[in-house]
A and B are shown apart, each in its own frame.
Chain A
């Protein structure tokens, strides 16, 4: 597999009046094209900071990030971050508009996604008329519309109820598999990490270092429901849980 992103000795500190807090310490990570990896670790360990660094929103103190300058990054946040003053369609094409990329092909793709997720009939409505699950689907469409090379998903399902969570995570899984997207998923949920990933990166308590990397090898790749039924699912779940549990000791 081709390497799409490489993090070398990434280090990041925060400065406050009280002193310096080392948030991330020497993270080394290679991400291959088409690979889905999950970052798991205790709360506040620096998972989201690492995503922000990869996305270029946050600066880092030491290290190197090797990536193609034209690498398109799609960032899906914990909050749907929909703009209430834009219609559903305008929200879906927001990224394309900001990047001056309103081509026929991209707009056609947005229409296809809106239809696929049953949002096309509401496209002239405003986001207030959508349920939490539908809003997160729209956020996914907005992220995919720009055709990103790599998708950064920062706890994208955490604000959803259990039913919406299962449905949307399945939608996300199917589309990233179908389109062979490279994904970095930040999650607290061991189940999500196990079902989604090819590799799970376990981070330590702050300052974050990579504590363990677990390669996941579940046989079925059709849907998250099928992957959960895999005979090895519990084994991987326990391995991740054990590593996380050790974090707290």
Chain B
């Protein structure tokens, strides 16, 4: 390895470290400032809680065996809704791609459903599905499904026209065109849509938990509000932020792995 290349690699590493340092600095400054402002009485501890109070609440939740069950429930709901949303989105996108006439008919309806605030459907969902996990999953599905359909469908439509022409000239069947060209060509779009899907699913699940649940992080936040324990509310929000960050990072790792050769 030449000295120039070593210097180049060092520069890259230093740049990454610098970015990480400033990210860490922002988090520490934010938490530190929050703690100080509460301790000097500038912020009301009852309303705004504080990092030390949140840590104490987390310890209490662990001691009473409550924390992990709530995280587990939320993650389970997220996973079910995520897989369902993705699979259904994929199948619907496939149907729309194969039947352009149907896609043309449904186009305004998809746009309308996509722009509808799904929370407005909450009461209806509870009446239809009851106050249980089904309502939570349906709420999350309503939020992530249309986005999945639209992005995967657009991925299919973006198949290279020369490659399509090539497959047709080789007398490829419709099934071969779909499985050996259209779907593999859309990997990048599908995987990119996972990032959006995971965050939308989390929003849907928490919204659902606000409405009906008896367990989960969303429930923890609503319960905290009902008993005026705002430490619990803040703890729920922080845990949610951490879960959201971890899930997003997992998708990024998956994306890198799957797109390595594309």
Bound pair (A, B) = yes
Question: Would you call A236 an interface residue if the criterion is a C-beta within 8 Å of the partner chain's C-beta atoms?
Answer: no
Nearest B residue (CB) for A78? B162
Shortest CB distance A56–B (Å): 8
Q: Of residues 169 to 193 in B, which have CB atoms within 8 Å of A's CB atoms?
A: 169-172, 176, 180-181, 184-185, 187
Report the separation of the CA atoms of residues A94 and B168 in the bound assembly, to the nearest whole angstrom. 12
Per-residue contact bits, chain B 139-178, to A (CB 8 Å; 1 contact, 0 not): 0000000000000000000001011011111111000100
Asked if B261 is at the interface (CB within 8 A of a chain A CB), the reply is yes
The answer on a CB contact under 8 Å between B181 and A81 is: no
Cβ-defined contact, B168 with A126, below 8 A: no
Task: Known contacts A57-B168, A98-B170; decide if A81 and B163 are in contact (CB<8 Å).
Answer: yes
- What is the interface size of chain B, counting residues whose CB is below 8 A from a CB of the partner? 19
**Closest residue of A by beta carbon distance from B184:** A85
Supposing A73-B169, A85-B261, A85-B262 touch, asked if A98 and B162 sit within 8 A by C-beta, the answer is no
- State in angstroms the CA–CA spacing of A146 and B171 once bound together: 12
- Give A169-205 as 1s and 0s: 1 = Cβ < 8 Å from B's Cβ atoms: 0000000000000000000000000000000000000
CB atoms of A99 and B169 under 8 A apart: no
Contact A75 B184 (CB under 8 A): no
- In Å, the complex CA distance between A81 and B176 comes to 16
Chain A 60-100 interface 0/1 with B at a Cβ cutoff of 8 Å (1 = within): 00000000000001110111010111000000001100110
Pairwise interchain contact A98-B171, C-beta atoms closer than 8 A: yes
In the complex formed, the residue of B with least CB distance to A75 is B169
Who on chain B is nearest to A152 by CB? B169
List chain B residues, Cβ under 8 A from A77: 162, 165-166
Once the chains are docked, how many angstroms separate the CA of A99 from the CA of B187? 24
Known: A79-B162, A81-B160, A81-B162. A126 touches B261 (CB 8 A): yes
B184 near A81 with CB under 8 A, answer no
A-B contacts, 27 listed (Cβ < 8 Å): A52-B165, A55-B169, A57-B169, A75-B166, A77-B165, A78-B162, A79-B160, A79-B162, A81-B162, A81-B163, A81-B165, A81-B166, A83-B163, A83-B181, A83-B184, A84-B261, A85-B184, A85-B185, A85-B262, A98-B167, A98-B170, A98-B171, A98-B172, A98-B176, A98-B180, A99-B170, A146-B170
Kindly list the 3 A-B residue pairs having the minimum CB-CB distance in the complex, ordered from nearest.
A75-B169, A79-B162, A81-B162
Q: What 20 additional pairs, Cβ within 8 angstroms, besides A57-B165, A77-B162, A84-B261? A: A52-B165, A57-B168, A73-B169, A74-B169, A75-B165, A75-B166, A75-B169, A75-B170, A77-B165, A77-B166, A79-B162, A81-B165, A83-B163, A83-B184, A98-B171, A98-B172, A98-B176, A99-B170, A126-B261, A152-B169
